[in-house]
């Protein structure tokens, strides 16, 4: 039982460490799902939007982290 608790705690901390990135990914998936249901876009276009959106989210998170580390080094 302790192993399950450890795994769940690790998963929770992984997502909460960068809550902005997790929330952005959830919003992206929600927007693409809404586009699929209501705007009737093709699944290929939805996949492309997910891919590009995910890349933007990851790059933004990396840039934000790099700036934070550079600011911490400078102090």
- List the end-to-end C-alpha distance of the chain, in Å, as a whole number: 44
> Between the CA of residue 16 and those of 12, 23, 27, 51, what are the distances in Å?
6, 10, 16, 22
Tokens of 7: 């795994």
pLDDT at 75: 64
Between 9 and 52, residue with greater pLDDT? 52
The rounded distance, in Å, linking the Cα atoms of 49 and 14 is 25
pLDDT digits (tens, 9 = 90+) for 25-42: 999 999 999 999 999 899
Between 60 and 2, residue with greater pLDDT? 60
pTM: 0.76
The rounded distance, in Å, linking the Cα atoms of 46 and 53 is 10
């Amino acid at each position: 039982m302790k192993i399950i608790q450890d795994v769940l705690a690790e998963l929770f901390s992984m997502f909460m460490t960068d809550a902005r990135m997790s929330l952005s990914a959830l919003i992206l998936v929600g927007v693409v799902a809404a586009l699929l249901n209501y705007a009737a876009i093709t699944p290929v276009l939805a996949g492309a939007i997910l891919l590009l959106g995910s890349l933007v989210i990851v790059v933004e998170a990396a840039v934000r982290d790099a700036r934070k580390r550079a600011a911490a080094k400078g102090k």
